[in-house]
Homo-oligomer: A and B are copies of this chain.
Amino acid sequence: MAGTLRPARTKQASEPGPDGRAELGLLQVIGADGAAAKTVEPELPVEDLQRMYRTMVLIRTLDERALKLQRAGRIGFYVSCLGQEAAQVGSAQAFEERDWIFPTYRDPAIALHRGIPVVELLRQCFGNARDRVRGRQMPVHYAFREIRFVSISSPIGTQLTQAVGVAHAARIRRDPVVVAAYCGDGATSSNDFHAGLNFAGVWKAPVVFLCVNNQWAISCPSAKQTASETYAAKAVAYGMPGVRVDGNDVLAVYRATKEAADRARRGEGPTLIEALTYRMGSHSSSDDAARYRPSEEWEAWKAKDPIDRFRRYLARRRAWSEDFEHEVVAGASAEVQAAIEEAEGTPVPAIETIFTDVYAEMPPHLREQLEELRRAEAAGRGEEEKGEFPL
Contact = CB atoms under 8 A, between A and B. Distances in A.
A253 to B, nearest CB: 11
Contacts of A191: 191, 194-195
Interface stretch (A2-10, A93-101, A207-215, A315-323): A2-10
Nearest to A203: B227
A228 interface: yes
Interface string A221-236: 0011111110011111
A198 interface: yes
A212 to B, nearest CB: 15
Residue from the set A27, A224, A237, A269 with the largest chain B CB neighbour count within 10 Å: A237
Contacts of A189: 194-195, 198
A241 B6 contact: yes
A15 interface: no
Given A2-B27, A233-B5, A228 B243 contact: no
A182 interface: no
Given A193-B194, A198-B226, A236 B4 contact: no
A372 interface: no
A259 B243 CA distance: 33
Contacts of A40: 2
A5 B236 contact: yes
A350 interface: no
A351 interface: no
B239 A4 contact: no
A226 B198 CA distance: 6
Report the copy number of this chain in the oligomer.
2
Interface in A232-282: 232-245, 256, 259, 269
A25 interface: yes
Secondary structure of the A side of the interface? mixed
A358 interface: no
A110 B233 CA distance: 34
Interface string A39-68: 010000000000000000000000000000
Interface string A324-347: 000000000000000000000000
B232 A228 contact: no
A236 B193 contact: no
A79 to B, nearest CB: 25
Contacts of A227: 198, 201-202, 204, 238-240, 269
Contact of A225 (B202, B241, B269): B202
A119 to B, nearest CB: 38
Contacts of A172: none
Nearest to A8: B236
B226 A5 contact: no
A1 interface: yes
5 contacts: A3-B245, A3-B256, A189-B194, A201-B226, A202-B227
Interface of A: 1-7, 20-22, 25-27, 40, 189, 191, 193-195, 198, 201-202, 204, 223-229, 232-245, 256, 259, 269
Closest CB pairs A-B (n = 4):
A227-B239, A201-B227, A194-B194, A191-B191
